[in-house]
Amino acid sequence: MIEIRNLCKKYELGGTTVNALDNVSFDIRADEFVAIMGRSGSGKSTLLQVLGLLDQPTSGSYKLFGKEVAHLTENDLAIYRRLTLGFIFQQFHLLPRLSALDNVAMPLIYSGLSSIHASPKNLLAVVSLQDRMEHKPRELSGGQQQRVAIARALVNEPRILLADEPTGNLDTTSQADILNLLDQMHKSGIGVIVVTHDEEVAERAHRILRMQDGRLVSDSQTKNGKKKKRTVTGINTTIDSTTHASWFAYFVKLLGEGYRAVIANKLRSALSMLGITIGVASVIAMLALGSGAQKAIESQLTGLGANVIVVRPSAVRVGGVAQESGSPARITLDDVPWIKERVGAIQGAAGNVTGRAQVTFGNKNWNTLVQGAGLEYAAIRNAMPELGRMYTHAEEQSRARVALLGLTVVRELYGNENPVGTFIKINKVNFQVIGVMPSKGGGGFRDQDDVVVVPLTTAMYRLLGKQYVDSMDVEIRAGANIDDAGDAIKEALAMRHRIPASMQEGGYQIFNLDDIRTAMTAASSTMSALLAAIAAVSLLVGGIGIMNIMLVSVTERTKEIGLRKAVGARPQDILLQFLVETLVVSLSGGALGLVLGGVISLLMSQFAGWSVSISAFSIVLSIVFSVFIGLVFGIYPARKAAHLNPIDALRHE
């Protein structure tokens, strides 16, 4: 039942006001077949759009089934559009991506009605298109497209059909088909209101409303209308606001729609996905690298007992500038036995020097780290040779040319052969291999097994040309206080080398396991944070890419949004649809990124020898992140789309 009183609709156009509807009043019963006629520009379409709840009047009252429309919320309006009205447009407004069948079924997504009563297939049969169900609109003639549109208008079993020049774009045969269909619908108990300027079309109706310059000028019964009045029963005028039978089914349908929209624009979706993929992949790889570094540090420190400290000369600072050379704080070869004698708490001590050298075996070359270590090094660092033997005191004293190889050096120079007993050249000096060092495991940024160990004296005087020891490993006796022992060592060395009291820290620095771990961990987590920040920026850029695409997509599909709202989609349905679409893109991009990140991590550990480890944390983080990015960057365009006025959106070009 339609009751309108003093309905006005004004358009403001460049300073002038157009009265598209001027004080229009009439009633239409829910079972009538009414034609609205008038010249072009007389306000027919405007009237129908107001009746169809696609547009709001400027003033006046419109009651639909007894409810004042002006008082309805946007959601109520959507429910009325969906459950009571079926709108047919002159331009058909089918969605080009969808088949005829999917176009007809589209309103069901929003109404959630099961299609038992009016199944889309049956409706296509009613409009004689049962053999065109899978065709896209562009593969159908104008008349066929309009029949699809009629089937769509019927799928939610509306009480009133509204048609705006439904035959305006059609040839005469198609026109007859459409008119017969409208007749048939009216006979089955649906109210029909049709806008036309064609007398032939109007003759089918029972009542003709004539418009002129926005005013209703005549209201007459046709000869059809003078036949016996049908009594229509069974029209339930209460609006039931059933929404979705099942949220799950609704969501699955939305997901299908989202997937279809993504597929429809393959290249564009792939490009926006790429941003997220690269972002997630870099987050995964960077976090893997960071936690790998952490693990490498742990494994480096495992050989170092809790009662071992490292003594180093500290760089002298003058006005904050480090003075490398000329520092009086140094450790000589003699200091090692001397300090052991002097400080009672010392269990063992070994000097250390390091430098790089070229190692040759046969025709194979390898650049590696040479470590000169005092005899007690193996005991203190828990690093007895796995194969072969440690050098002896005599060898140490005589600067013997003997070497222990790390596993990486063995692999590079010998492959699978046993190196013990063979001769190699280190910086062109002949050395005999006497053993193989145990693996320190891990990797980190420097391979811990890429090392050659030689006696300290040999390294200092034959290979590296150093007069002083770089550092000294000291093992403290069980039970002794490590801090006190450290202080005693510092003091003794400072006194022996006559370090001025003014010098900070007495010229020597003591590191224990905790110090080293803290320092290394701090350095590595700073680096990890930096890497993660870079990765996050690329993820952000990916998200902005997605938002960009979604904005374009919303603008491009404004018409589609108008149509969806015209068939009863609520703002939240539109919002959800675009969010789901964004999520489909960002989640697929995220999943791809996960795989890519894994592959990159694997390659880093395989080829660069960096230790990496992918944590569950980084996987969860990147999934959460890509969903989050999708939501954040999808919401703005989706909101924009959801609140468009249906008719404005439909007019969008």
Q: How many CB atoms lie within 10 A of CB 427?
A: 15
Q: How far is the CB of 39 from ligand ADP (least distance, A)?
A: 7
Per-residue x/- marks for Mg ion, 499-538, CB under 5 A?
----------------------------------------
If the CB atoms of residues 18 and 551 are measured against ligand ADP, the closer one turns out to be 18
Interatomic CA distance for residues 25 and 111, integer angstroms: 31
DSSP secondary structure letter of residue 503:
S
If the CB atoms of residues 142 and 168 are measured against ligand ADP, the closer one turns out to be 168
Q: How many CB atoms lie within 10 A of CB 199?
A: 10
- The residue with its CB nearest to Mg ion is 45
Q: How far is the CB of 42 from ligand ADP (least distance, A)?
A: 4
Torsion of CA 294, 300, 306, 307, to 10 degrees: -150
Select the binding partner of residue 42 from ligand ADP, Mg ion, none (C-beta < 5 to 8 A, by kind). Answer: ligand ADP
Q: How far is the CB of 49 from ligand ADP (least distance, A)?
A: 8
If the CB atoms of residues 41 and 60 are measured against ligand ADP, the closer one turns out to be 41
- The residue with its CB nearest to ligand ADP is 45
Select the binding partner of residue 558 from Mg ion, ligand ADP, none (C-beta < 5 to 8 A, by kind). Answer: none
Select the binding partner of residue 18 from Mg ion, ligand ADP, none (C-beta < 5 to 8 A, by kind). Answer: ligand ADP
Select the binding partner of residue 520 from Mg ion, ligand ADP, none (C-beta < 5 to 8 A, by kind). Answer: none
User: For residue 226, what are its two tokens?
Assistant: 């003078």
Which residues make Cβ contacts (< 8 Å) with residue 500, sequence separation at least 6? 328
Q: Which one, of 58, 88, 266, lies nearest residue 163 by Cα?
A: 88
If the CB atoms of residues 378 and 647 are measured against Mg ion, the closer one turns out to be 647
Residue 625 amino acid letter? F
Interatomic CA distance for residues 381 and 402, integer angstroms: 20
Select the binding partner of residue 43 from Mg ion, ligand ADP, none (C-beta < 5 to 8 A, by kind). Answer: ligand ADP
Strand 364-373 versus strand 451-455 pairing type: parallel
- Does 196 bind Mg ion (CB under 5 A)? Our answer is no
Residue among 42, 45, 103, 352 that touches Mg ion (CB under 5 A): 45
Q: Which one, of 549, 536, 556, 558, lies nearest residue 584 by Cα?
A: 549
User: For residue 402, what are its two tokens?
Assistant: 């003997």
If the CB atoms of residues 45 and 146 are measured against Mg ion, the closer one turns out to be 45
If the CB atoms of residues 165 and 475 are measured against Mg ion, the closer one turns out to be 165
Count of residues in contact with Mg ion, rule CB under 5 A = 1
User: For residue 223, what are its two tokens?
Assistant: 């000869």
If the CB atoms of residues 40 and 231 are measured against ligand ADP, the closer one turns out to be 40
Burial class (CB in 10 A: 0-12, 13-18, 19+), 527: middle
Which residues make Cβ contacts (< 8 Å) with residue 596, sequence separation at least 6? 277, 278, 280, 281, 284
Q: Which residues bind ligand ADP (CB under 6 A)?
A: 11, 13, 18, 20, 38, 40-46
User: Hey, which residues does 429 pair with through a beta bridge?
Assistant: 426
Q: How far is the CB of 29 from ligand ADP (least distance, A)?
A: 23
Interatomic CA distance for residues 362 and 516, integer angstroms: 39
If the CB atoms of residues 58 and 122 are measured against ligand ADP, the closer one turns out to be 58
User: For residue 587, what are its two tokens?
Assistant: 């989640």
Select the binding partner of residue 41 from ligand ADP, Mg ion, none (C-beta < 5 to 8 A, by kind). Answer: ligand ADP
What beta strand segments (E) does 171-275 contain? 191-195, 207-212, 215-221
If the CB atoms of residues 42 and 601 are measured against ligand ADP, the closer one turns out to be 42
Report the Cα–Cα distance between both ends of the chain, in Å, rounded: 34
Stretch of residues binding Mg ion (CB under 5 A), selected from 43-51, 398-406, 500-508, 595-603 = 43-51
Q: How far is the CB of 639 from ligand ADP (least distance, A)?
A: 24
If the CB atoms of residues 164 and 412 are measured against Mg ion, the closer one turns out to be 164
Q: How far is the CB of 214 from ligand ADP (least distance, A)?
A: 7
Interatomic CA distance for residues 533 and 134, integer angstroms: 50
Select the binding partner of residue 20 from Mg ion, ligand ADP, none (C-beta < 5 to 8 A, by kind). Answer: ligand ADP
Rg (CA), the chain: 43
Interatomic CA distance for residues 380 and 260, integer angstroms: 67
Q: How far is the CB of 138 from ligand ADP (least distance, A)?
A: 27
User: For residue 611, what are its two tokens?
Assistant: 């230790």
Select the binding partner of residue 387 from ligand ADP, Mg ion, none (C-beta < 5 to 8 A, by kind). Answer: none
Select the binding partner of residue 46 from ligand ADP, Mg ion, none (C-beta < 5 to 8 A, by kind). Answer: ligand ADP
- Per CB under 5 A, residues contacting Mg ion are 45
